[in-house]
Structure formats: structure tokens, C-alpha cells
Structure 1
Amino acid sequence: MTITRRAMLGGTLGLVAGGLTGCATADASGSLISVGFAQTGAESTWRAANTASLRKALSRRNGFELMFIDSQGRQENEIAAVRSFVTRGVDVIVLAPMVEGGWRDVLEEARQAHIPVVLEDRGIDASGSSLYVSRVGDDFRHEGALAAEWVVATSDPATRIVELLGTTGSSAALERSAGFDEVIAGHGFTVLDAQDAGFTRAGGKEVMAAFLQKHGDDIQLLFAQNDDMGLGAIQAIRAAGLEPGHDIRIVTIDGTRDALVELIAGRLNHVVQCNPMLGPQVASVVRAVHSGRPVKREYIATDRVFDTRAAKEVLATWPY
């Protein structure tokens, strides 16, 4: 197998069953629990659904006073947001880290202020692992593996692949790559190219257009690490006079409504879910941490895979 990919690292996340439960009330004193939530940005349909889930769960009605900051896709903005929460003296900080590294100093500031930190969605590297109490998210490595299992099961070993990668340095991109690589290794596939497209639709269109210009008809299959990049790639493939889903088969990760529509239409071939509806579990963890109750190190959401039939079965009631 030939792989032209930048070196990537990824750690295995432990799967944790079960979750915390808690009533939708304020703390024991009757006061609202103040929460600072630093979100990475609004780069994708998945992210919009994730933000909406957190906002709803951490609402005043549910006993929280939420301070939300959209970091607009810049880690320096996220670090500044966390520092502002420390200055304000919130009860708990919820952080959706854009990338794995670079968090030790600011999380140490939160620790010194006795403010617990809960990670939401992505993870951070080992240098800051002792500075947060719990993570609520998805198993990105498993998602990459699920995408690869479909490739192995449905593809000729001589299949030539290109990949649209997520944000460089993010745990989602690193671990999806690791899971995908582990499964396709030894099956004879050739990865022609792999580039960061930023988890955005515009990025997916731009990078896929460049792939098509560089590799042309050699491309037989696309692995897009999220739906939005895959949906952008569809536009580039059609602009090149090719039929997405037929001339170039496509597997993506997220499970958004837009992707399920394209799957039913035959322009995507397989979709792996990454569940964004993490708000209720985050709220339960925040409430437990604030009250001094123990929490698990990780709470992993349940994901599923979609073919055309499965997409048709859920589309009418799909929440994001």
C-alpha cells in the first residue's frame, strides 16, 4: 500500500457504557450553575447541531447560566475564552478543543482557580490530560475504522483512494486517520493523496478540485472525514463532468441530514454517524462535577452506519 500522508498520531479512546442522570434543576442552594462553554466555531452542519444541543441542555430552564463563546476556528480565541471564564469565576468550564496540543497553561490556570474543566467533542494530548475531569464525545478512531471496513468489504484491492482530512492537529482528524489506516493496511489499496480541507464544505470542494486536476481518472474512491467536506467534493466532481457515487465512490463521517439526502440520491455511498447531540450528557456531567459527585473519565456517544436503506428509514425524523 502506498500512502502519501503527513505523519499522524492518534490515541485509542476507551469505550464507556452508561451515563449520568440528573434532574433539570439548579444546585442544592437553588442557585444557577454558571458554565463557560468555548466552542471551536461553526465550520460545519455537525458543529451547528452540536452547539444547539449544548445550548438547549445548558439553558437557564435546566438550572444553568451559560456563557457561550464561538471561537471562530482559532485556537487563540478559544484560549482567550477559557481565560475569560476563569476571570469571571464560572463554576464549570466546558471546552471543545479545536486541536489536541497547546492547552496545558490555560487549563493549569483553571485548576489553580479551582474551576473544573469538562471536554466536549474532541480530546487533548497527554500534556493536559490531568487538567480536565471528564470528556463527553464520540469514538473517532472507531468511526474511521467503520468507514474503512466498508471500503474493504466493497472495493477491489487495486482501488485508488484520496482523502479529505479534518483540521490538522485535531483529535477527530488524527484518530479517524488512525482508525482508517489500521483497517485498510495490508489490503493492497493505494492512497494517492490526503490533504487538510478544514472540515468545511468550501474546503472539500477546493481540495477535491485540486485532487481531480492532479490525479484525474486515477481516483476511484474518496474518504472524507466529515460530511461537509464530502458534500463540497460532490460539487467538484460534478463540475469535472464525473458522477459522484458512481465514477468516484464516496464514504463520509457525521450523519447529517444533507448527507443522508445525498446517500439516498446515490451521490454518496456510505455514511458513518458521529453523534453531535451531546448536550444532555454534558449537562449531567457538569451537574455532577459541580455537586462533588464522581464522574467517569469518558462518556462515549452511540454511533451507527448508514446505507441507502437505513437513511430512508430515518430521514423523516432525523434531528440534525
Structure 2
Amino acid sequence: MNRRILAGVALLGTLALATTGCAGGTDGGGNAGSGGGGDELITVGFAQTGSESGWRAANTESMKEAFSEENGFDLIFNAADNKQEAQIQQVRSYINQGVDAIVIAPITVDGWDDVLKEAQDAGIPVILEDRTVSASDDLYASWVGLDFEKEGETAGQWVADKFDGQGANLVILEGTTGSSAALDRATGFASATEGTDITVLDSQTGDFTRDGGKKVMEGFLQKYGADIDVLFAHNDDMGLGALDAIKAAGLTPGTDIQIVTIDAVKDGMTALANGEFNFIVECNPLLGERAAELVKAVVAGEEVDKRTIVEDQSFTQEQAAEVLDSRPY
């Protein structure tokens, strides 16, 4: 009899433990800390590119504000210092942690197939932010960002309107090699200037950094000197670095060499208002709110658009002066 009683107690204890184990720490999809319902926070892993520019700093701040605890999120943030291997490793870390969703600003377009498949197999939705990838779009839930090709086309159209027929010489500061921003901006710019008599003297990457833009522009100036009529920089920071190199060479930026950039961050807009830049195409970094909306919808099982494009503007010197004080970034 005693043995039967002891066996019954042991069985009840086992059942209680099993029930407790099923109720703790994971949702039906096996993800820890699910924010799919109630007042629980949605745990999001955000894999940022790095901190290479003023644009990136504004983008990071926008994401952190949108994915705040007050808005229903628990954000795990990492910036990969523009090293794709480190960024992919961080995404794998988020998968292992069992987050509810992953947001990625991909450093380059290629190399994402395997880790995106791993996230899909783990039942973790991925939202791409800012840049795109070459992987099949069924491996991620959605993308939110800007039309980089149109940005390049707008910059190129300004150059074509301004310099076609003058036999002008152009140099280009490219963004990070292999990134969708650099690839698409180059494509758009080339399409807008095709058929003009503008000569591209040189085109090299400055990695979207101010220091990179300065160093590459110094090389351009040593090689071509005052033969350069116009500079197209894929972002403001590289243009600002080039501006310093132009001044150091004894030339006047905005006059001796006209400068066209993309981003419209505060420092770039100030240079434009001061006449040291000549034209800027905006690339709006404030994508956090849109990304957060997508994450909430996807985690809730709702259908979302595959692509969300945020509209951009462009600015002349006069327009920059008018809006400079009211710009949020």
C-alpha cells in the first residue's frame, strides 16, 4: 500500500512539473518573451550597419525611440561597424535568443540567404530597414526604406541640367561597395547623365564616411587638380570630407568645384545653405516608426506590404536656408 501511495505522489509531482514547463517562457512558436498578446513586450533584435555617418546616427536614434519600452518593445541593439560577418553573427545571436522579430539594415546586398533561412526556420519574422538584399523576398516579411535609384537619378538630373553642353569633368565618391544604397544611386545617376557630354574622370568608394571622402578626394585632386568641375558624393558625410580636401587644395567648394550629395543631414544642409554644396537630395533617416508598425503587424499575424517606400525631397541653396532651422536631423 505504501508503495502505491508513493508512486501516486511521484506521478502527480511529474505532471505538475510538466505543466509548469509548458507554461513558462515561450509562446506556441517557441519564441521567448513573445509580444503577440496582452501587455507583454515584443522582443526585437536590431542589427544596424554601424555609425559611419550623421545619417546613420539619426537613423539609429529614430529606431531606438520607436522601439522603446513605452511603445511596447524590448529592443536588443547591435551595430556591426560595417563588417558584414559581424552583422550576420549578431542576427544568428538574435535567433538563438528566440526574439520575436529581427530588424536588419543590411550592410551589403549579398550573403544573406543562409541566415534569413535560419530565422524563417525558427519562426522569427525579419523586417529589412533602409537597405535591401539580393535574397529571395520570401525569406523576409517586409522592407521599409528609400528609393535609392530615384535619389541617384534626381542628383544626376540636376548635374545634367546644369553641366550638359559644357564638357564638364566629374568625379564620384561611392558609398560602401556592394551596398544597395551605393549600387542603386550609381545606377540612377548614370541613367540621368547618359547621353550628356559630361566626362566621369574617376569614381571610388569612400565607404560613406567623412574621413573616407576626404582621403579619396585628396587623391582626385592630386591626379586631376582644377580639371574637376563637379563632385557627386553618395552621401553628405563624404561630401563634407571632400569639402575639407578642396579647401586644403586652395580651391573654393561650391564655386571652383560644385558639389552634389545625398542625405540632407544637418551638416550637409548647413554647407548647402552656406553655398559650399550646390544641391542635395534627401534620404530620410527617420524610419523607426514605420519599422515598428511593420513589426507589430507581422508579430500579430497580419498581412503587410512587401515594400514601404518613404518619400524624399531635394534642396537648392535657397531652399536649404529656408528649412535649416526646422530640420529634425
- Where do 5+ consecutive residues of structure 2 fail to align? 1-34
3-state SS of the aligned residue for 2:262? strand
Equivalent AA in structure 2 for residue 162 of structure 1: V
- How far does residue 308 in structure 1 lie from its aligned partner after superposition? 1.4
Which of 65, 71, 80 lines up with 1:71 in the alignment?
80
Task: Give the distance between the partners of 1:210 and 1:170, measured in 2 at CA.
Answer: 23
Is the 1:163–1:194 Cα contact (8 Å) retained in structure 2?
yes
1:223 equivalent in structure 2: 232
1:143 corresponding residue in structure 2: 151
8 Å CA contact 2:163–2:198 kept in 1: the answer is no
Match of 1:58 in 2: 67
Q: C-alpha distance in 2, partners of 1:272/1:93?
A: 30
Distance 1:35 1:243 in 2: 47
The letter of the residue matching 1:301 is V
Instruction: State how 1:1-320 maps to structure 2 within 5 Å.
Output: 27-125=36-134, 127-157=135-165, 158-320=167-329
- Quote the offset at 1:69 in angstroms: 0.6
**Are the counterparts in 2 of residues 165 and 195 from structure 1 also a CA contact under 8 Å?**
yes
Bigger CA radius of gyration:
2
Q: CA deviation at 1:153?
A: 1.3
**Partner SS state of residue 286, structure 2:** coil
Provide the alpha-carbon RMSD of the alignment: 0.8
Q: 3-state DSSP class of the match of 2:99?
A: coil
Given that residues 63 and 288 in structure 2 are in contact (C-alpha distance below 8 angstroms), is that contact kept between their aligned partners in structure 1?
yes
Code of the residue aligned with 1:145 in structure 2: it is: E
Measured in 2, the distance between the counterparts of 1:240 and 1:156 equals 26
The percent identity for this pair of structures is 52
CA contact (8 A) 1:165 1:224 kept: yes
Q: What is the alpha-carbon distance in structure 2 between the residues aligned to residue 319 and residue 156 of structure 1?
A: 35
Shift in Å, 1:130: 2.2
- Consecutive aligned runs of 4 or more in structure 1 exceeding 4 Å deviation: none
Q: Which residue of structure 2 lines up, in the alignment, with residue 23 of structure 1?
A: none
The CA deviation string for residues 78-118 of structure 1, in whole angstroms up to 9 with x for no partner, is 00110000000000000000000001111111011010100
Contact 1:27 1:63 in 2 (8 A): no
Q: 2: distance between equivalents of 1:220 and 1:124?
A: 34
Q: CA deviation at 1:318?
A: 0.6
Q: Retained in 2: the 8 A contact 1:204–1:229? A: yes
1:197 CA displacement: 0.4
Partner of 1:280: helix, strand, or coil?
helix
Greater RCO (CA < 8 Å, at least 6 residues apart): 1
Name the CA distance, whole Å, in 2 between partners of 1:67 and 1:114.
Answer: 18
Tell me the TM-score normalized by structure 2. Answer: 0.88
Query: 2:164·2:196 contact (CA, 8 Å) conserved in 1?
Result: no
CA distance in structure 2 between the partners assigned to 1:195 and 1:312 by the alignment: 30
Shift of 1:156: 3.8
Distance in structure 1 (CA, Å) of the matches to 2:68 and 2:36: 14
Residue 142 of structure 1 aligns to a residue in which SS?
Answer: helix
In 2, are the aligned partners of 1:161 and 1:192 still within 8 Å (CA)?
Answer: yes
Cα distance between partner residues in 1 of 2:143 and 2:71: 21
Query: Could you say which residue in structure 1 is the equivalent of 2:29?
Result: none
Give, in angstroms, the shift of residue 283 of structure 1. 0.5
The offset of 1:128, in angstroms, is 3.8
| 1:129 CA drift (Å) | 2.7
3-state SS of the aligned residue for 1:242? coil
Question: Is contact 1:107-1:128 (8 Å) kept?
Answer: no
Q: Distance in 1 between matches of 2:85 and 2:164?
A: 44
Contact in 1 for aligned 2:44/2:102 (Cα 8 Å): yes
Residue deviations 1:268-310 (CA, integer Å, cap 9, x gap): 0000000000000000000000000100011111110001121
Partner of 1:9: none
Q: CA offset at residue 27 of structure 1?
A: 4.5
SS of 1:41's equivalent in the other structure is coil
Q: Which residue of 2 aligns with 1:3?
A: none
Q: Deviations over 1:119-176 (max 9, x none)?
A: 0000001x34321110010000000000011111111431110000000000000000
Unaligned regions of 5+ residues in structure 1, if any? 1-25
